[in-house]
Structure 1
Protein backbone atom coordinates (compact mmCIF):
# COMPACT_ATOMS: atom_id res chain seq x y z
CA UNK A 1 0.00 0.00 0.00
CA UNK A 2 1.38 3.38 -0.94
CA UNK A 3 0.26 6.85 0.11
CA UNK A 4 0.44 9.80 -2.24
CA UNK A 5 1.16 12.98 -0.23
CA UNK A 6 1.70 15.17 -3.26
CA UNK A 7 -0.94 17.86 -3.67
CA UNK A 8 -3.00 17.19 -6.72
CA UNK A 9 -4.41 20.69 -6.86
CA UNK A 10 -2.76 24.06 -6.97
CA UNK A 11 -3.02 26.12 -3.74
CA UNK A 12 -5.76 28.75 -3.53
CA UNK A 13 -4.25 32.11 -4.33
CA UNK A 14 -7.31 34.35 -3.86
CA UNK A 15 -9.64 34.83 -0.87
CA UNK A 16 -13.26 35.88 -1.21
CA UNK A 17 -13.97 39.05 0.79
CA UNK A 18 -17.76 38.88 0.40
CA UNK A 19 -18.30 37.56 3.94
CA UNK A 20 -16.11 40.21 5.53
CA UNK A 21 -17.84 42.93 3.48
CA UNK A 22 -21.21 41.77 4.81
CA UNK A 23 -19.98 41.90 8.41
CA UNK A 24 -18.56 45.41 7.98
CA UNK A 25 -21.83 46.60 6.38
CA UNK A 26 -23.86 45.15 9.26
CA UNK A 27 -21.60 46.85 11.82
CA UNK A 28 -21.96 50.16 9.99
CA UNK A 29 -25.76 49.88 9.96
CA UNK A 30 -25.77 48.93 13.66
CA UNK A 31 -23.70 51.96 14.69
CA UNK A 32 -25.72 54.33 12.52
CA UNK A 33 -28.98 53.12 14.02
CA UNK A 34 -27.85 53.18 17.64
CA UNK A 35 -26.27 56.62 17.35
CA UNK A 36 -29.58 58.11 16.19
CA UNK A 37 -31.27 57.05 19.46
CA UNK A 38 -29.25 59.52 21.53
CA UNK A 39 -31.84 62.03 22.78
CA UNK A 40 -31.47 65.41 21.17
CA UNK A 41 -33.55 68.13 22.75
CA UNK A 42 -34.49 71.02 20.49
CA UNK A 43 -34.20 73.73 23.15
CA UNK A 44 -30.79 75.40 23.15
CA UNK A 45 -29.39 75.87 26.62
CA UNK A 46 -25.78 76.12 27.72
CA UNK A 47 -25.53 73.77 30.67
CA UNK A 48 -23.19 74.64 33.54
CA UNK A 49 -20.03 72.53 33.70
CA UNK A 50 -19.16 70.55 36.84
CA UNK A 51 -16.65 67.88 37.84
CA UNK A 52 -19.14 65.11 38.69
CA UNK A 53 -22.76 64.34 37.89
CA UNK A 54 -25.50 62.10 39.28
CA UNK A 55 -27.15 59.37 37.22
CA UNK A 56 -30.62 60.09 35.90
CA UNK A 57 -33.60 57.75 36.05
CA UNK A 58 -35.13 56.38 32.86
CA UNK A 59 -38.54 58.02 33.41
CA UNK A 60 -38.36 61.73 34.04
CA UNK A 61 -39.90 65.04 33.04
CA UNK A 62 -37.58 67.57 31.42
CA UNK A 63 -38.07 71.23 32.26
CA UNK A 64 -35.85 73.62 30.28
CA UNK A 65 -35.16 77.23 31.18
CA UNK A 66 -33.57 79.35 28.46
CA UNK A 67 -31.35 82.37 28.96
CA UNK A 68 -34.25 84.75 28.27
CA UNK A 69 -36.37 83.08 30.99
CA UNK A 70 -38.68 80.93 28.83
CA UNK A 71 -39.88 77.63 30.30
CA UNK A 72 -40.39 74.39 28.37
CA UNK A 73 -41.90 71.17 29.76
CA UNK A 74 -40.80 68.17 27.67
CA UNK A 75 -40.23 70.54 24.74
CA UNK A 76 -43.59 72.32 25.01
CA UNK A 77 -43.54 76.06 25.86
CA UNK A 78 -44.89 76.78 29.34
CA UNK A 79 -45.77 79.96 31.17
CA UNK A 80 -44.55 80.54 34.70
CA UNK A 81 -48.10 80.55 36.07
CA UNK A 82 -49.06 77.29 34.38
CA UNK A 83 -45.79 75.45 35.11
CA UNK A 84 -47.23 73.21 37.87
CA UNK A 85 -50.21 72.23 35.73
CA UNK A 86 -48.07 71.43 32.68
CA UNK A 87 -45.69 69.31 34.77
CA UNK A 88 -48.72 67.48 36.18
CA UNK A 89 -50.01 66.88 32.64
CA UNK A 90 -46.62 65.57 31.48
CA UNK A 91 -46.24 63.27 34.48
CA UNK A 92 -46.32 59.55 33.84
CA UNK A 93 -47.46 57.13 36.53
CA UNK A 94 -43.96 56.03 37.66
CA UNK A 95 -42.27 59.41 37.19
CA UNK A 96 -40.68 60.75 40.37
CA UNK A 97 -38.07 63.13 38.96
CA UNK A 98 -37.92 66.47 37.18
CA UNK A 99 -34.68 67.11 35.29
CA UNK A 100 -34.00 70.84 35.08
CA UNK A 101 -31.99 71.88 32.01
CA UNK A 102 -31.27 75.50 32.88
CA UNK A 103 -29.06 77.78 30.81
CA UNK A 104 -26.01 79.23 32.55
CA UNK A 105 -27.66 82.64 32.26
CA UNK A 106 -30.83 81.54 34.07
CA UNK A 107 -31.47 83.01 37.51
CA UNK A 108 -31.95 81.41 40.90
CA UNK A 109 -35.53 82.72 40.89
CA UNK A 110 -36.27 80.63 37.79
CA UNK A 111 -34.74 77.56 39.43
CA UNK A 112 -36.84 78.21 42.55
CA UNK A 113 -39.98 78.48 40.40
CA UNK A 114 -39.37 75.04 38.87
CA UNK A 115 -38.39 73.55 42.25
CA UNK A 116 -41.55 74.84 43.94
CA UNK A 117 -43.71 73.47 41.10
CA UNK A 118 -42.02 70.08 41.47
CA UNK A 119 -42.37 70.21 45.28
CA UNK A 120 -46.09 70.87 44.90
CA UNK A 121 -46.32 67.60 42.95
CA UNK A 122 -43.99 65.71 45.33
CA UNK A 123 -41.28 65.28 42.67
CA UNK A 124 -37.50 65.38 43.04
CA UNK A 125 -35.51 67.95 41.04
CA UNK A 126 -32.17 67.12 39.41
CA UNK A 127 -30.04 69.76 37.69
CA UNK A 128 -28.66 68.76 34.29
CA UNK A 129 -24.99 69.64 33.82
CA UNK A 130 -22.12 68.86 31.48
CA UNK A 131 -18.81 67.35 32.58
CA UNK A 132 -15.72 69.48 32.17
Structure 2
Protein backbone atom coordinates (compact mmCIF):
# COMPACT_ATOMS: atom_id res chain seq x y z
CA UNK A 1 0.00 0.00 0.00
CA UNK A 2 1.76 3.20 -1.12
CA UNK A 3 1.68 6.33 0.99
CA UNK A 4 -0.04 9.37 -0.47
CA UNK A 5 2.20 12.47 -0.19
CA UNK A 6 0.24 14.57 -2.63
CA UNK A 7 -0.51 18.24 -1.77
CA UNK A 8 -4.23 17.69 -2.42
CA UNK A 9 -4.80 16.88 1.27
CA UNK A 10 -5.77 19.83 3.46
CA UNK A 11 -3.41 20.63 6.36
CA UNK A 12 -4.84 20.35 9.85
CA UNK A 13 -5.69 23.88 11.06
CA UNK A 14 -6.83 23.07 14.62
CA UNK A 15 -4.60 22.38 17.58
CA UNK A 16 -5.72 20.33 20.56
CA UNK A 17 -4.81 21.82 23.94
CA UNK A 18 -5.63 18.63 25.85
CA UNK A 19 -2.04 17.37 25.74
CA UNK A 20 -0.63 20.68 26.91
CA UNK A 21 -3.15 20.83 29.75
CA UNK A 22 -2.03 17.38 30.91
CA UNK A 23 1.62 18.45 30.86
CA UNK A 24 0.91 21.63 32.85
CA UNK A 25 -1.13 19.67 35.40
CA UNK A 26 1.65 17.10 35.81
CA UNK A 27 4.24 19.88 36.25
CA UNK A 28 2.08 21.53 38.89
CA UNK A 29 1.74 18.25 40.80
CA UNK A 30 5.49 17.63 40.48
CA UNK A 31 6.41 21.04 41.90
CA UNK A 32 3.90 20.74 44.74
CA UNK A 33 5.25 17.34 45.75
CA UNK A 34 8.93 18.21 45.48
CA UNK A 35 8.85 21.61 47.15
CA UNK A 36 9.99 21.60 50.75
CA UNK A 37 7.12 21.93 53.17
CA UNK A 38 8.26 23.37 56.49
CA UNK A 39 5.63 22.98 59.16
CA UNK A 40 5.07 26.31 60.88
CA UNK A 41 3.97 25.76 64.43
CA UNK A 42 1.50 28.10 66.08
CA UNK A 43 3.75 28.63 69.10
CA UNK A 44 6.20 31.47 68.44
CA UNK A 45 9.69 30.61 69.66
CA UNK A 46 13.08 31.99 68.60
CA UNK A 47 15.07 28.84 67.84
CA UNK A 48 18.81 28.88 68.47
CA UNK A 49 20.92 29.23 65.33
CA UNK A 50 23.62 26.69 64.47
CA UNK A 51 25.87 25.98 61.48
CA UNK A 52 24.22 22.69 60.47
CA UNK A 53 20.82 21.09 60.85
CA UNK A 54 19.43 17.57 60.46
CA UNK A 55 16.09 16.59 58.92
CA UNK A 56 13.10 16.13 61.21
CA UNK A 57 11.54 12.71 61.55
CA UNK A 58 7.86 12.32 60.79
CA UNK A 59 7.42 9.91 63.72
CA UNK A 60 7.86 12.39 66.52
CA UNK A 61 6.02 14.42 69.13
CA UNK A 62 6.77 18.14 69.33
CA UNK A 63 7.16 19.91 72.66
CA UNK A 64 7.52 23.71 72.53
CA UNK A 65 9.07 25.74 75.35
CA UNK A 66 8.46 29.47 75.50
CA UNK A 67 10.56 32.10 77.22
CA UNK A 68 7.63 32.65 79.61
CA UNK A 69 8.05 29.11 80.99
CA UNK A 70 5.04 27.55 79.23
CA UNK A 71 4.98 24.02 77.79
CA UNK A 72 3.07 23.05 74.63
CA UNK A 73 2.67 19.45 73.45
CA UNK A 74 1.72 19.30 69.76
CA UNK A 75 0.49 22.90 69.99
CA UNK A 76 -1.69 22.44 73.09
CA UNK A 77 -0.73 24.09 76.39
CA UNK A 78 0.20 21.61 79.11
CA UNK A 79 1.09 22.29 82.76
CA UNK A 80 4.51 21.06 83.85
CA UNK A 81 2.99 18.57 86.29
CA UNK A 82 1.03 16.82 83.52
CA UNK A 83 3.83 16.75 80.92
CA UNK A 84 4.66 13.03 81.26
CA UNK A 85 1.03 11.92 81.29
CA UNK A 86 0.23 14.08 78.25
CA UNK A 87 3.19 12.70 76.31
CA UNK A 88 2.21 9.16 77.27
CA UNK A 89 -1.37 9.77 76.07
CA UNK A 90 -0.27 11.22 72.72
CA UNK A 91 2.46 8.68 72.01
CA UNK A 92 1.60 5.81 69.69
CA UNK A 93 4.77 4.49 68.02
CA UNK A 94 6.84 7.67 68.08
CA UNK A 95 10.43 7.22 69.21
CA UNK A 96 11.53 10.86 69.01
CA UNK A 97 10.57 13.95 70.94
CA UNK A 98 11.38 17.22 69.18
CA UNK A 99 12.03 20.05 71.59
CA UNK A 100 11.34 23.50 70.08
CA UNK A 101 12.76 25.76 72.75
CA UNK A 102 13.03 29.52 72.69
CA UNK A 103 16.58 30.86 72.98
CA UNK A 104 15.65 32.44 76.29
CA UNK A 105 14.05 29.30 77.78
CA UNK A 106 15.46 28.16 81.11
CA UNK A 107 17.67 25.09 81.51
CA UNK A 108 15.14 23.75 84.03
CA UNK A 109 12.57 23.48 81.25
CA UNK A 110 15.06 21.49 79.15
CA UNK A 111 15.69 19.16 82.06
CA UNK A 112 11.96 18.64 82.65
CA UNK A 113 11.31 17.68 79.04
CA UNK A 114 14.42 15.46 78.87
CA UNK A 115 13.36 13.67 82.04
CA UNK A 116 9.83 13.12 80.66
CA UNK A 117 11.27 11.74 77.43
CA UNK A 118 13.58 9.40 79.32
CA UNK A 119 10.66 8.13 81.37
CA UNK A 120 8.96 7.16 78.10
CA UNK A 121 12.12 5.77 76.44
CA UNK A 122 12.13 8.51 73.78
CA UNK A 123 15.11 10.24 72.19
CA UNK A 124 15.18 14.04 72.42
CA UNK A 125 16.00 16.14 69.36
CA UNK A 126 16.48 19.89 69.78
CA UNK A 127 15.04 21.99 66.93
CA UNK A 128 17.35 24.73 65.67
CA UNK A 129 17.60 27.09 62.71
CA UNK A 130 20.55 27.40 60.37
CA UNK A 131 22.64 30.47 61.04
CA UNK A 132 21.50 33.33 58.80
CA UNK A 133 18.06 31.83 58.03
CA UNK A 134 15.92 33.58 60.58
CA UNK A 135 12.21 34.08 59.94
TM category (shorter chain) comes to 0.7 to 0.9
Alignment partner, residue 79 of structure 2: 79
- CA-CA distance at 1:77 after TM superposition: 0.8
Secondary structure, counterpart of 1:117 in structure 2: helix
Give the TM-score, by structure 1 length: 0.77
Distance 1:63 1:5 in 2: 73
Provide closer, same or farther for how the CA distance between residues 85 and 32 of structure 1 changes in structure 2, counting only shifts above 3 A: same
Alignment partner, residue 131 of structure 1: 130
Distance 1:4 1:23 in 2: 33
Distance 1:116 1:34 in 2: 37
- CA-CA distance at 1:61 after TM superposition: 1.1
Alignment partner, residue 15 of structure 1: 15
Structure 2 counterparts to residues 12-51 of structure 1, below 5 A: 12-28=12-28, 31=31, 39-51=39-51
Secondary structure, counterpart of 1:84 in structure 2: helix
Distance 1:4 1:107 in 2: 85
The count of aligned residue pairs is 128
Distance 1:95 1:21 in 2: 42
Q: CA RMSD for the aligned pairs?
A: 2.7
Secondary structure, counterpart of 1:21 in structure 2: helix
Give the TM-score, by structure 2 length: 0.76
Alignment partner, residue 109 of structure 1: 108
